[in-house]
Structure 1
Amino acid sequence: MAYLSFNETVNANLKFTSDNSAENEEMLKKDLPLRYTWSIWEQIMANDKAAAYSDATHKVAAFSTVQEFWKLWNHMPQPSELFEQKRMVREQPDGLHVIDAIMIFRENIRPEWEDKMNTNGGHFQFQLKPTVGGGQVDEYWNNLVLGVIGATIEPANMITGIRLVRISAKGAQRPS
């Protein structure tokens, strides 16, 4: 079965094609704006257990058009790749840090409850059984991200972001 995964080990035979009409070529030259500007964030595992959550959360990049999104998204790992590797690391000036979560939030909204745009918000958690395959996880993640940034999941104005976190079987974030 084919899934919407950009991990080539999951979908080696899946090819994305389009007709090469002049109309499509012309449309692709124009910026296709999104309703909101979005930021990609990483949460790194803090070496100091007393460190504040906000100290472990870092903005990576922002995008406001479809083209900018795909330029970034094409270089981001799929959940299946993260799960296969068991962890992803980022080199910082003070050494290597394990990335605990990847988040996409609207620009100027921090991925934390203390942000005034999130204080009245809710929390929708989608937790998968360990037996769910990587391709299926990728498809769920890609569909959710595309729906959130494309404002096709209603009420779009109330959705401020989305998070991908690997959870252990006991329900806590998985340590390195």
Structure 2
Amino acid sequence: MATSSLSGAALQASRAALSAALADQPPSTLTSAEEGLEPGEIQEVNMEAQAEGIRTVFSDPTNFNVKHPLYSPWTLWFDSPATKGRNMPQTPVSAFPQTPIPQTPGAAAAQGWMEDIKRVISFDSVEEFWGLYNNIIPPSQLPQKANYYLFKEGIIPAWEDEANKNGGKWSIQLPKDKNRLNVDKMWLYTMLAAIGETFDPSPTDSENGSQSLITGVIVSTRPQFYRLSIWTRLAPSGVDEDGLRERIEGVGKYFKISVLGYPEGAKLAGPLATEVEFLSHKDSEKKGKPKKIVV
């Protein structure tokens, strides 16, 4: 078996993305008589024979018959100056059919801005993620003012979306000339942590209203810098309810240390560079100096 080439942070996130693999098979619907069993007799299962029929992408990269499902489906979006106001014959994501933007209340509110963004493809398995990643241009080769947005399916990458309007974002800005060789790896590790649900390890229970804080991640290219961002569905207020600030800070620390690989106490700000900073979407709209959380 080949040794993984991923480093610690990426390998951890990738393993987390695989954790839901090989879901239990549903019980048989046949009666004991139909299965040839006497009443009360238990059918023996040949586990070795069953295992022989399972081909994962690790054992057969071409003809695998089992996929590793993600906890949530995700959608990749893209925009750049080339996509604004016109359809280009070819884009960095042209290998995939573009699908229309879902008509949610958030999409309607952000309609003007969303006219220029392209919804590329949705996926819900590890195999589909790698198929996508291996067929798109990396951030280091994107044109200026281009953006990749990876958001959970059903959430559009806009403040107006119901899942985003009460949240905020962790972000870091990095000078382009010093990070051109690192940004692709940073973006990959950020995506793996997102789809592997490792940014926010708090339990997710949709029945009780508990959800992962993470709604999406973004990489942006600008003339002189790159920006990586993690969007959250909630942001701390003046009163720390239910440990929300601690959870938010946990996301930022994990992003800085485990994903980007910086020491916990490292100072990163400088010319064109910022610390790993959190800002709520509501504070972003206010005038004056916004209140930021820095890790």
Identify the TM-score tier after normalising by the shorter chain: 0.5 to 0.7
For the Cα contact (< 8 Å) 2:70–2:125, is it kept in 1? yes
* Aligned counterpart in structure 1 of residue 146 of structure 2, from 100, 108, 119: 100
For the Cα contact (< 8 Å) 2:78–2:117, is it kept in 1? yes
The code of the aligned residue for 2:116 comes to: A
For residues 111 and 81 of structure 1, what CA distance do their matches in structure 2 show?
A: 22
The code of the aligned residue for 2:199 comes to: I
Shift of 1:155: 4.6
For residues 31 and 168 of structure 1, what CA distance do their matches in structure 2 show?
A: 39
Q: Could you say if the C-alpha distance between residues 147 and 107 of structure 1 is closer, same or farther in structure 2, counting changes exceeding 3 Å?
A: same
TM-score between both structures, scaled by the size of structure 2: 0.41
1:59-98 C-alpha deviation (Å, 9 max, x unpaired): 110000001111111101111222xxx35xxxxxxxxxxx
Which of the two has higher C-alpha Rg?
A: 2
Normalized per residue, which structure has more strand? 1
Query: 1:9 maps to what in 2?
Result: none
Q: Could you say if the C-alpha distance between residues 27 and 56 of structure 1 is closer, same or farther in structure 2, counting changes exceeding 3 Å?
A: same
The code of the aligned residue for 1:108 comes to: G
* Aligned counterpart in structure 1 of residue 113 of structure 2, from 48, 53, 58: 53
Describe the SS at the equivalent of 2:149: strand
Describe the SS at the equivalent of 2:75: strand
Describe the SS at the equivalent of 2:172: coil
* Aligned counterpart in structure 2 of residue 41 of structure 1, from 49, 66, 77: 77
For residues 170 and 58 of structure 1, what CA distance do their matches in structure 2 show?
A: 23
For the Cα contact (< 8 Å) 2:73–2:153, is it kept in 1? yes
For residues 216 and 187 of structure 2, what CA distance do their matches in structure 1 show?
A: 13
TM-score between both structures, scaled by the size of structure 1: 0.67
The code of the aligned residue for 1:32 comes to: H
Query: Where do 5+ consecutive residues of structure 2 fail to align?
Result: 7-50, 58-63, 87-110, 203-211, 227-295
Query: 2:135 maps to what in 1?
Result: 75
Shift of 1:106: 0.4
For the Cα contact (< 8 Å) 2:75–2:121, is it kept in 1? yes
For residues 132 and 149 of structure 2, what CA distance do their matches in structure 1 show?
A: 13
For the Cα contact (< 8 Å) 2:68–2:127, is it kept in 1? yes
Query: 1:96 maps to what in 2?
Result: none
For residues 109 and 47 of structure 1, what CA distance do their matches in structure 2 show?
A: 23
Query: 2:172 maps to what in 1?
Result: 126
* Aligned counterpart in structure 2 of residue 165 of structure 1, from 213, 216, 220: 220
Q: Could you say if the C-alpha distance between residues 155 and 132 of structure 1 is closer, same or farther in structure 2, counting changes exceeding 3 Å?
A: farther
Check if 1:148 corresponds to 2:203.
no
The code of the aligned residue for 2:213 comes to: M
The code of the aligned residue for 1:76 comes to: I
Q: Could you say if the C-alpha distance between residues 170 and 68 of structure 1 is closer, same or farther in structure 2, counting changes exceeding 3 Å?
A: closer
Query: 2:283 maps to what in 1?
Result: none
The code of the aligned residue for 2:159 comes to: W
Which stretches of structure 1, 4 residues or more, deviate above 4 A after TM superposition? none
For the Cα contact (< 8 Å) 2:175–2:225, is it kept in 1? no
